[in-house]
């Protein structure tokens, strides 16, 4: 069955997807030094050569990967992800390469006893990860950081369907304001990250890196699987 082999699939309308998520996303606020153009001198293949502190971009742990590759383990004994999220004031920021939702204090995720504070959420279109070679319409990344500077990211993969996703629908009007111009910020008031549904009980998990410079390695990636 098709749904059984995908990471978690949520459904959003085509109109919402096309009008809001036109920018590609990453983990840094200034993309002027690098490009996503594979043919560019400062494209992904050359990120590791642009600056000394970006050397990890030439490493072996670079996501995204196809989720059926050998180093992506399907973890079935985790049960529900151990999160303790809470409502918090949040801000939307257009970073040029993506739109980011940043929380002041949105709670935390716990993996193997390590607590990672929720920092931000951003979106990629199309999806960065593939499943059995197939790429999807949208992927969101919930980025968390521990007290010692380690990162953990939860990825959720979306495809276009008949029903809108409740969380995206809730913030749709806020998203439209910063969608057109880099550097625009919008205070959204209180947003509860618990509204982002993580319903699966099986997950793809692997150790990778951040997906843009400085490409920090040792990131724990968890892709919700339904």
Token output for 98: 């993506």
Cis peptide bond prior to 126, omega within 30° of 0: yes
Phi and psi angles of residue 113, each rounded to the nearest 5 degrees, phi first = 85, -10
Burial of 179 (0-12, 13-18, 19+ CB in 10 A): middle
The per-residue pLDDT for range 156-202, each reduced to its tens digit, is 988 887 788 889 899 988 887 766 777 788 899 999 999 998 866 66
Alpha helices in the chain (DSSP H): 14-20, 47-50, 166-170, 172-176
The per-residue pLDDT for range 205-216, each reduced to its tens digit, is 888 887 777 777
The per-residue pLDDT for range 77-118, each reduced to its tens digit, is 555 678 999 999 999 998 877 789 999 999 999 998 899 999
Tell me the pTM: 0.76
Confidence at residue 148, expressed as pLDDT on a 0 to 100 scale = 93
More confident residue, 124 or 70: 124
Do 195 and 167 touch, CB atoms closer than 8 A? yes
Can you list the domains of the chain with their CATH numbers?
44-225 (3.10.200.10)
Burial of 31 (0-12, 13-18, 19+ CB in 10 A): buried
Lowest-pLDDT choice from 5-14, 51-60, 65-74: 5-14
d(CA 84, CA 98): 26
End-to-end CA distance of the chain: 12
- Rounded to 5°, the CA angle 136-142-147 comes to 150
Cα radius of gyration (the chain): 17
Confidence at residue 32, expressed as pLDDT on a 0 to 100 scale = 61
* Residues classed as catalytic: 97
E-only strand ranges, 54-167: 73-75, 83-85, 88-94, 99-103, 107-111, 114-124, 130-131, 134-135, 138-145, 151-160
Largest CA distance in the chain: 47
């Amino acid at each position: 069955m098709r749904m059984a082999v995908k990471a978690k699939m949520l459904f959003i309308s085509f109109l919402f997807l096309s009008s809001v998520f036109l920018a590609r996303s990453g983990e840094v606020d200034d993309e002027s030094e690098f490009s996503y153009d594979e043919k560019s001198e400062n494209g992904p293949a050359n990120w590791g050569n642009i600056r000394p502190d970006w050397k990890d971009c030439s490493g072996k742990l670079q996501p995204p990967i196809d989720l059926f590759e050998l180093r992506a383990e399907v973890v079935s004994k985790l049960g529900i992800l151990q999160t303790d999220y809470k409502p918090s004031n949040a801000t939307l920021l257009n970073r040029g390469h993506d739109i980011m939702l940043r929380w002041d204090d949105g709670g935390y995720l716990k993996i193997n006893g390590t607590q990672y504070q929720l920092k931000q959420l951003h979106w990629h279109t199309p999806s960065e990860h593939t499943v059995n070679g197939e790429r999807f319409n949208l992927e969101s990344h919930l980025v968390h950081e521990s007290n010692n500077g380690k990162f953990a990211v939860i990825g959720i993969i979306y495809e276009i369907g008949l029903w809108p996703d409740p969380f995206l629908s809730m913030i749709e009007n806020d998203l439209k304001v910063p969608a057109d111009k880099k550097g625009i910020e919008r205070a959204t008031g209180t947003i509860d990250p618990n509204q982002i549904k993580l319903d699966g009980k099986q997950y793809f998990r692997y150790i990778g890196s951040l997906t843009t410079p400085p490409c920090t390695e040792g990131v724990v990636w968890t892709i919700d699987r339904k």
